Copies of this chain bind each other. A is one copy, B any other.
Amino acid sequence: MKKLMNDPRRYVADSLAGFAAAHRDIVRVSPEPAFVARARLTPRKVGILAIGGSGHEPLHIGFVGAGMLDAAVPGEVFTSPTPDPILSATRTVDQGAGVLYLIKNYTGDVLNGETAAELATAEGISVRTVVIDDDVAVQDSEFTAGRRGVAGTVLIEKIVGAAAERGDDLDALVHLAGELVSSVRTMGLAIAAPTAPHSGRLSFELDADEIEFGIGIHGERGRARMTMASADELADRALDAVMEDLPRRRGDRVLVLVNGMGATPPAELYIVYRRIAERLDAAGVEIARSLVGSYATSLDMAGFSVTVLTVDDRLLALWDAPVRTAALSWGC
């Protein structure tokens, strides 16, 4: 399989250099240790920092900017960043109000994040961590104790980022992030595997009519191999898995993300969304907001995930708040 790259060892470095050149109005990129931070930080604001390996773009670097993240620490492809770049990014974004780490639940990310948090704390920076585990597919996985963190992270980064922008303090943001983690669920599937830059090979094999249901965003095994079905049937299965698990204490308004895994055309994501909207409407659940696109990807994997977050007016106001990043931009 071919990859558009110069050298697999320079995949992330070259990409970050291009990202820096394309978005110099929004971000600054530190090449070594590698992290992405806002070009302009806001004095006395809590810093929101995301941790996690590369290969999931636009997650997280595409969400650095006003109204969302202050920094993202990417690591190599599908590889946790070490504590060193996390600590450097923490020092850069700390404006005296502390820093909140948003971490998808993968063992390496959590351990390295916690180590960096301890080191930063020893330097007098207030750091708190929130671990995101929205994936309902499996209870434990190859790379996690407990559930994995997947596309729900996009929604949490937006909403927590907006709350930090309006001036919420670190305690309030930890509380909000925790509330969001408990209110969001995701289920995904793959119809074709991604090609890893280092091996140049597909990261797993699927038969011509086979899919992986409950896939992780690194191509980890999910719940089951299944036979390929229609988009409506696949959407139903994913939505059922999400809704069975979703706490509904806040009533019947939700924010829905239909997320592409990388290689799936927008037209097909909208085919899936059509069914999700039809099903939720029939169930009396109001989709207050939606997002359809490839936001938390796995290189060029084909497939989709469905994320549902229960919302109220307070969360919707934060969702609607202005944002200006490479990958999400709206408002003033």
- Which A residues are within 8 Å of any B CB, using their own CB? 1-7, 11-12, 14-19, 21-22, 54-55, 57-58, 62, 191-192, 208-209, 211, 228, 230-232, 234, 262-275, 277, 290, 292, 297, 299-300, 302-304, 324, 329-332
- A306–chain B nearest beta-carbon distance, Å: 12
Highest count of chain B CB atoms <10 Å: which of A12, A62, A192, A268: A268
Q: Is the CB of B304 within 8 A of A302?
A: no
Q: Which residues of B contact A58 (CB under 8 A)?
A: 266
Say whether, besides A21-B277, A302-B300, A304-B4, A57 and B266 are in contact (CB < 8 Å): yes
Q: Is the CB of A18 within 8 A of B300?
A: no
Q: Is the CB of B265 within 8 A of A18?
A: no
Q: Is the CB of B262 within 8 A of A265?
A: yes
What residue in chain B is nearest A25 (Cβ atoms)? B289
Main secondary structure of the interface of A (DSSP, over half): mixed
Q: Is the CB of A268 within 8 A of B21?
A: no
Q: Is the CB of B211 within 8 A of A265?
A: no
- A145–chain B nearest beta-carbon distance, Å: 28
Q: Is the CB of B62 within 8 A of A300?
A: no
Highest count of chain B CB atoms <10 Å: which of A1, A14, A208: A14
* Cα distance, A262 to B192, chains bound together (Å): 14
Q: Is the CB of B277 within 8 A of A211?
A: no
- A138–chain B nearest beta-carbon distance, Å: 22
Q: Is the CB of A292 within 8 A of B18?
A: yes
Q: A21-B277, A55-B265 are in contact. List 10 more A-B contacts (CB 8 A).
A: A1-B208, A2-B191, A2-B302, A5-B230, A6-B232, A7-B230, A11-B267, A14-B274, A18-B292, A57-B266
- A79–chain B nearest beta-carbon distance, Å: 13
What residue in chain B is nearest A330 (Cβ atoms)? B329
Q: Is the CB of A271 within 8 A of B62?
A: no
Q: Is the CB of B231 within 8 A of A274?
A: no
Q: Is the CB of B14 within 8 A of A263?
A: no
What residue in chain B is nearest A57 (Cβ atoms)? B266
Q: Which residues of B contact A266 (CB under 8 A)?
A: 57-58, 62, 297
Highest count of chain B CB atoms <10 Å: which of A15, A266, A269, A277: A266
* Cα distance, A297 to B266, chains bound together (Å): 9
Q: Which residues of B contact A292 (CB under 8 A)?
A: 18, 22
Say whether, besides A5-B230, A265-B57, A266-B62, A11 and B329 are in contact (CB < 8 Å): no
